[in-house]
Amino acid sequence: MLNPQRSLSELPKMSAASQVERAVLEEEFNWLLKEEVHAVLKQLQDVLKEASRRFSMPTPGLESQLKQENFILGSSTMDQVKGVLTLQGEALTQADINLKVAKSSQVLHFQFREDKMWKLQQIQDARNHVNQALGLLGSRDESYHFKTGAEVNKLMDAVMLQLTRARNRLTTPASMTLPELATSGLMKMFTPPMPGDVMVNFYINLSKLCLTVYQLHVLPPNTTKNYRPAGSSVLHNPGAMFELNNNRFEVSQVHKVECVVPWLNDTLVFFTISLQLCQQLKDKVSVFSSFWNYRPF
């Protein structure tokens, strides 16, 4: 706005105009704090309440009343592994796995032992983060009076942090080392018991429920192969090696099958919408703060 060709006589007009502009901006900002913020927060709460509902939060003592959903995990191209998993809330209450052993027609069948279930911590964490976000919005309803833009921004930052965490829990499954997988409680939950050369793992990746099956073979002690223990990973590849109880193993085959969980997909969409709503509100507030900081000439 600094135009050196403007004549000096125009300066008083411009400062008067900028004063009027400031007054209008102040009124707009007040409107933002009083009306727009609450409209956006209401929308945000509605979306997050829908997301929270998808997680079917268990009432203590009534966990068994949660609905059970069955998911068929398989691959269209290969049928070495097929699984039917039952998800109840945040836990798998049944896992029916069929595994075709390589180079034979033998099919191994495993199921969870009676009353055993495997908790999917990713789902519980995502659910809790959504509820934390709702808690932050809970006391900021229509009756609350926001006094500054900074207050709105702080609230949006806190809500966005929880939503980002919720989304990350679903998109980033835990990395484990092969010995950790081998000694995890999951291996002991099956009937008939898992043979020593098979390992399974369950996790959530985005909106998909995944089952991975590792087939192992023991490395003979005088093998010519160069032993290098594999590190932590979400999914290990064939050829990965590890040591357990003085035996060395190598992964010979890896099978991964998955199935989309529709309600998890819904929640991911809700997270995206909510994060957008938060960011847009922050952007609206920042329009005004950039004006306050602006000093002509």
Partner 1 sequence: MSGNNLVLPIVLWGRTAPTHCISSLLVMDNFSTVITGCHDGQICIWDMTPELEICPRAMLFGHTASITCLAKASACSDKQYIVSASENGEMCLWDVNDGRCIEFTKLACAHTGIQFYRFTIGTEKEGRLLCNGHYPEILVVDATSLEVLYYLVSKISPDWISSMSIIRSHRTQEDTVVAVSVTGILKVWIITSEVSKIQDLDPVFEEESKPIYCQGCQSISFCTFTQSSLLVVCSKYWRVFDAVDYSLLCSVSSESDQAWTGGEFIAADRVIIWTEDGCSYIYKLPASCLPASEHYRSDVGKTKEGSIPPLVYSIADRQDKQLLICPPVTRFFFGRREPFHKLLIQGDSAGRLSLWSVPDNSPLQPLSTAAGRDQFSGDKAVCPYCD
Binding site for partner 1 (CB under 8 A): 57-61, 63, 119, 121, 124-125, 128-129, 131, 135, 138-139, 141, 143-144, 147-148, 150-151, 153-155, 161, 165
Q: Which CB sits closer to partner 1, 158 or 273?
A: 158
166/213 with CB nearer partner 1: 166
Alpha carbons 190 and 126: distance in angstroms, whole number: 27
The distance of closest approach from Cβ of residue 244 to partner 1 in the complex, given in angstroms and rounded to an integer, is: 20
CB of residue 215 to partner 1, shortest distance in Å: 30
Q: Min. distance of Cβ 148 from partner 1 in angstroms? A: 5
Nearer to partner 1, 100 or 165 (CB): 165
Cβ proximity to partner 1, 49 vs 228, nearer residue: 49
State the Cα torsion 151-139-124-82 to the nearest 10°.
Answer: -90
Residue number with CB closer to partner 1 (161 or 206): 161
Judge if the upstream peptide bond of residue 192 is cis by omega within 30 degrees of 0: yes
Closest CB 272 distance from partner 1, rounded Å: 21
Taking the C-alpha atoms of residue 223 and residue 1, their distance in angstroms, rounded to an integer, is 77
Distance CA 40, CA 141 (A): 11
Shortest Å distance, C-beta 26 to partner 1 = 16
Going by their DSSP bridges, the two strands 247-260 and 241-244 should be labelled as antiparallel
Per-residue burial over 199-217, b if 16 or more Cβ lie within 10 Å, else e, is bbbbbbbbbbbbbbbbbbe
Helix or strand or coil: residue 33? helix
